[in-house]
Structure 1
Amino acid sequence: MTTPAKVGLFVPLVAKPPQTTTVKDFLISALPLVEAEPETLQWFAIQYTSRLSVSPTSTSESNSEPLTTHYLIFDTFAADSGRQAHLNGKVAAALMGNREALLVEGDEGVAIKPVEVLQHKVGKLGEGKKLVCGLRVLMTANKDKVEDVKQHLINVGTKLLDEANPPVWYGFWFPDTAQFGIIGLFTSEAEREERLAGQTAVAMRFNELGIFESPPEVIKVNVLASSTK
């Protein structure tokens, strides 16, 4: 049985334009180091561009925004001790040691954000399959709806445990804020499109429950590397 994930790290990265490929290669090469960390349960390296956004009224890609490559590390742990061990480990040291050379300045370049995992699903992939794409969703609860959003994500995640798609899903909260997020990962574009067209996803994008300040930001992402235990 998979050890339940309770906490995690949400780490967005933006490379300096000449260093985009270098950052991508670094993230892929970090996989063996992460797999050697006994307390890191799951680790994902993700890439996306601002042109792969999904508007509330459409699941098509938007070309109105400038093309900028972004990266994201999302990882999970059973307890804060594992999270701290990872932050003090080789991958974090290498990333921060090369921050000035590889990443743009300030929080735009790298921001290490602790999260509380509200519900998650890490299913077994079919033979010969791997995680290749996903959805990154960020949302802000109305001031009086923080607990409602927490419960909503728990309910959605619990329902997904009995469904085949998506194979990997996380609903999480940025503690002491009204900010929440979802990471859903898939083995094919068809799986992703099926999820986007589903009733739950459509209702969330249109904020039909009225629990968000505005429609959630939904971004299509590609998976560069992944480790699940």
Structure 2
Amino acid sequence: MKTQILQTVAALALITTSATAQDNPMVNHTASYIAMPAAEGQTGAFAEFLAGAAAIVRDTEPGTVLWFALQADDTLAIFDIFADEEARDAHFSGAVAAALNQNADALVDGGWDDGVVANINNSDVLSAKAPVDLYTATTATYIKLKAAPGKGPELAALLTAAGPIVAETEPKTLFWAALQIDETNFAIFDIFADNSGREAHFAGQVAGLLNEKASELISGGWDDGVVANVHNFEILATK
């Protein structure tokens, strides 16, 4: 395993120098992630609301490239990818956002301001594996990463270079995106057909490399900076 990781590090060193020149399937795309706690006794109603919103997004938001409604116990979440910032702005002024605003006091703990708006994480897509078989996916993972002091550019380079490796080596990872929230904060979002796909991902080359480099690049290292920030979800609906 150590040899494999070192080989991957060497490959990434070469890939990183030309990553911006490669065909990134989502170059210039933006993303948004919102994790929202359901109001007491409203988890089922909130989940039903988000599942029903997928059709509205499909019909009214051409610039929303991907949209996922997610659930982990009493936490509901939305993750979406947009063609550009204009499309993201259109989404937040669209029919689904308006309906969520109207129903937030009933469905979301904290209502619209404290339960929805305060939990929005906007980001830019650094690298991605193009989505395949989206409607067979049942589970998703979101991981927020904070770069160690002064290591933001290096972590960004690693995540940018990882996309092609995921695409080449992880057939059970149906979609993968590396995201940059700001100069210090990053995230990874991916979807899988089932838990075996997630397990293969976390045993794969990119996870091994991230483990190897975490103590240097990520605040909290592997255990406190990566594993502690893994959030697994059931997928309720997809655009």
| Equivalent in the alignment of 1:30 | 53
1:7–1:83 CA contact under 8 A, matched in 2: yes
- 1:167–1:210 distance in 2 versus 1, CA, 3 Å: same
The answer to whether 1:90 aligns with 2:113 is no
- 1:144–1:46 distance in 2 versus 1, CA, 3 Å: same
| Equivalent in the alignment of 1:42 | 66
| Equivalent in the alignment of 1:151 | 157
| Equivalent in the alignment of 1:19 | 42
2:176–2:191 CA contact under 8 A, matched in 1: yes
Taking the aligned partners of 2:204 and 2:235, their CA distance within structure 1 comes to 22
Q: How does 1:5-154 map to 2 (within 5 A)?
A: 6-36=29-59, 37-49=61-73, 69-105=74-110, 109-110=115-116, 111-125=119-133, 130-154=136-160
1:40–1:75 CA contact under 8 A, matched in 2: yes
The Cα of 1:188 is off from its aligned counterpart by 1.5
The answer to whether 1:200 aligns with 2:212 is no
Taking the aligned partners of 2:109 and 2:126, their CA distance within structure 1 comes to 31
Query: What is the root-mean-square deviation of aligned Cα atoms in Å?
Result: 2.2
Deviates more, 1:195-204 or 1:108-117: 195-204
| Equivalent in the alignment of 2:184 | 178
Taking the aligned partners of 1:94 and 1:205, their CA distance within structure 2 comes to 41
1:5–1:76 CA contact under 8 A, matched in 2: no
The Cα of 1:185 is off from its aligned counterpart by 0.3
- Counterpart of 1:35, as a letter, is R
User: Equivalent residue of 1:29, what SS?
Assistant: helix
- 1:131–1:160 distance in 2 versus 1, CA, 3 Å: same
After TM superposition, the score normalised by the length of structure 1 is 0.82
Taking the aligned partners of 2:97 and 2:214, their CA distance within structure 1 comes to 39
Taking the aligned partners of 2:80 and 2:34, their CA distance within structure 1 comes to 9
Task: Give CA-to-partner distance per residue, 1:66-86, whole Å, 9 cap, x none.
Answer: xxx211111111111111111
Taking the aligned partners of 1:39 and 1:10, their CA distance within structure 2 comes to 16
Give the gaps of 5 or more residues in structure 2: 1-22
The Cα of 1:211 is off from its aligned counterpart by 0.2
1:11–1:74 CA contact under 8 A, matched in 2: yes
1:140–1:179 CA contact under 8 A, matched in 2: yes
After TM superposition, the score normalised by the length of structure 2 is 0.78
Task: Give CA-to-partner distance per residue, 1:61-105, whole Å, 9 cap, x none.
Answer: xxxxxxxx2111111111111111111100000111111111111
- Counterpart of 2:168, as a letter, is D
2:165–2:206 CA contact under 8 A, matched in 1: no
Identity %: 27
Taking the aligned partners of 1:189 and 1:46, their CA distance within structure 2 comes to 15
- 1:132–1:108 distance in 2 versus 1, CA, 3 Å: farther
1:5–1:120 CA contact under 8 A, matched in 2: no
Task: Give CA-to-partner distance per residue, 1:12-61, whole Å, 9 cap, x none.
Answer: 11111211111100110001111111111000111114xxxxxxxxxxxx
User: Equivalent residue of 2:216, what SS?
Assistant: coil
Taking the aligned partners of 2:114 and 2:210, their CA distance within structure 1 comes to 27
Give the gaps of 5 or more residues in structure 1: 50-68
The answer to whether 1:218 aligns with 2:230 is yes
